[in-house]
Chains A and B, each alone.
Chain A
Amino acid sequence: MGHFFMSRTNKIIEDHKVIEVLNPSPGNYFLTLQSPVEIPAILPGNFAEIKVPDAPDVFLRRPFSILDVDYKNRLIRFYVKVIGKGTKKLGELNVGDQVSMIYPLGNSYTLPQPGHKALIVGGGSGIAPFILLGKALIKNSNEVTFLIGGRSKQDVLLINELSSYGAVLITTEDGSLGERGLVTEHSVFRPDKFKFDKIYTCGPDPMMKAVGDLATAAGIDCEASLENMMACGFGICLCCITPTQEGNKRVCWDGPVFNVNYLKWHS
């Protein structure tokens, strides 16, 4: 199994100031917040637990992958896709609002040997860890290809930013951008093109499982970042478990990144 570096120290629990709220398409938001203290090292795949402010009906914190960090200006950025009352409220934040956050939580994607070729596959809110992952891979002298899927072209975000780290392939279910179909139907998976040393994936479970199966069939190492419902996010409630070769493991503590061969997935 891959060795995952655990980021267990220097946790921040602080109120952060909202610096910017962008709304590139309906239901999609990019939040930038400023930390009152220095931001510790954030690894690709790490997440934060965010307390949705002024939302008495949102009892628990919500986990979000960390999209990007600007250590110098103490800025941290998130992608918020509206799926429920918590995410809806986060999209309604205003510049200047204070938001309580705990981070960095969870483990991170592992990097391949320098020079190796990586394919990063995601859809929906699964694209959130890809900027930090792309940066880390480029720094590690890897060649990066992204494959991003969505229902329609307005669901395919971050293309410009991702393209600074590697080629970006796109699929949409309605064919409005890139190849038509699901990400797993993209031509990059054809045997003559599917030549990578490492696959990374994040998105809905069925997509990640399908990507993992394609990678395993081709003998390529693959890591998936899971997004289970969590009550705490730091290893104590045992609510976010996923079945693995070694029994039920906490996605927030043992993950969120797992080697696909270690996972049994939910039936």
Chain B
Amino acid sequence: MAQLGIKIHDLEFKNPVTVASGTFGFGEEMAQFVDLNKLGGIFVKGLTLKNREGNDYPRMAETASGMLNAVGLQNKGIDYFTHHIYPNIKDYNTHIIANVNGGTVEEYVELTEKLNELDRVTAIELNISCPNVKAGGMLFGTSCPSAIAVTDAVRKVYDKTLIVKLSPNVTDIAEMARAVEGAGADSISLINTLVGMAIDAEKRKPILSTVTGGLSGPAIKPVALRMVWQCYKSVKIPIFGIGGIMNATDAIEFILAGSSAIQVGTANFIDPTISEKIILGIDEYLNRHKIASVSELIGALEVH
């Protein structure tokens, strides 16, 4: 067995395989399929201060090698999470990482302060890249000054590990990565979904109720790999690679491009046990290549 442990800021992860926010519920729903204790970490479903009903149906469109979603951060709010969900998941032996969303900087800060009270939430992922909400979300993650403002404000009230989730819907991802690193992020995760749309030609109407939505799945993997690689060359903080990871080979590719850890997202919808299989597959790869530790592979891409 190879060494699968990795470090993100001051947190030890037993392996680099985590699951992406919005693709794994709060963990509870998936416990019937996966031994949650085996995962490196769980990025739970995006949280907001107050209950959000999300967008109208239809919220999903299947596309070539992927899907569009327009869920719009449906969740019952932080207080419900604290009292009804957190007690059920806090004792799993894995990192519970909260995905933090807000319409204003003040909302991000207030939500972060509430999460700071929960001992077993060992890190937060600042979501400044959700494309499916009208206020906040991606608006914060597509301009450097606002990304800096929200990261800086949250940093001031949060001492634990702060991960910032970047949007790919920008001209220069490395510039965004440097901006949030400068504002105090301990880590970045990328990529969130790419804004896209799907059309029903027969009805001459958009398929999603919101017209546009976020594209995920293998369709976005090449873009995600490129962006992880660009960020790896631009910042010193560790990276969670995300984008169409369907198997262990995909995960290895992201690690080679510069990810310290990865998030499995849309693949959970098709095979809810895939995260465990990816852990085994990474181990198999390391053994086959006689590599003692996965950390040796981080950014080990041989460009020339």
Contact = CB atoms under 8 A, between A and B. Distances in A.
Contacts of A228: 57
Interface string A206-239: 0000000000000000000000111110111111
A230 B61 CA distance: 9
Interface string B123-159: 0000000000000000000000000000000000000
B64 interface: yes
B60 interface: yes
A141 interface: no
Contacts of B64: 57, 59
A60 B272 contact: no
Interface stretch (A5-13, A113-121, A177-185, A192-200): A5-13
Interface stretch (A26-34, A128-136, A240-248): A240-248
B23 interface: yes
A229 B57 CA distance: 9
Contacts of A9: 32
**Which secondary structure dominates chain A's binding surface?**
loop
A231 B66 CA distance: 10
Contacts of B60: 229-231, 237, 239-240
A52 B4 CA distance: 34
B59 interface: yes
A8 B32 CA distance: 8
A11 B67 contact: no
Contacts of A241: 54, 57, 59, 74
B53 A237 contact: no
A56 B66 CA distance: 11
Contacts of A229: 58, 60
Contacts of A64: none
B29 A236 contact: yes
A231 B30 contact: no
B3 interface: no
Given A61-B270, A102-B272, A231 B69 contact: yes
Contacts of A232: 268-269, 272
A47 interface: no
A241 B52 CA distance: 13
Contact of A11 (B22, B33, B58): B33
A236 B32 contact: no
For A8, A231, A232, which residue has the most chain B Cβ atoms within 10 angstroms? A231
A102 B270 CA distance: 10
B258 interface: no
B116 interface: no
B71 A235 contact: no
B25 A248 contact: no
B25 A235 contact: yes
A234 B29 contact: yes
A248 B270 contact: no
B54 A11 contact: no
Interface string B56-85: 111110111111010100100000000000
Contacts of A230: 60
Tell which of A8, A57, A232 has the most Cβ of chain B within 10 Å: A232
Contacts of A13: 33, 271-273
A78 interface: no
A102, A228, A229, A236 interface centre (most CB from chain B within 10 Å): A236
B206 to A, nearest CB: 14
A59 B270 contact: yes
B217 interface: yes
A246 to B, nearest CB: 10
B54 A236 contact: no
Contacts of B32: 8-9, 11, 234
Given A9-B32, A241-B57, A236 B25 contact: yes
Contacts of A59: 62-67, 217, 270
A49 to B, nearest CB: 9
Given A57-B64, A102-B272, 17 more contacts: A13-B271, A59-B64, A59-B65, A60-B269, A229-B60, A232-B269, A232-B272, A236-B24, A236-B25, A237-B22, A237-B69, A237-B269, A238-B54, A238-B59, A240-B60, A242-B57, A266-B57
27 contacts: A11-B32, A51-B270, A59-B64, A59-B66, A59-B67, A59-B217, A59-B270, A60-B62, A60-B270, A61-B269, A102-B272, A229-B58, A231-B62, A231-B269, A234-B32, A235-B25, A236-B25, A236-B29, A236-B30, A236-B269, A237-B22, A239-B58, A239-B59, A239-B69, A240-B60, A248-B53, A266-B56
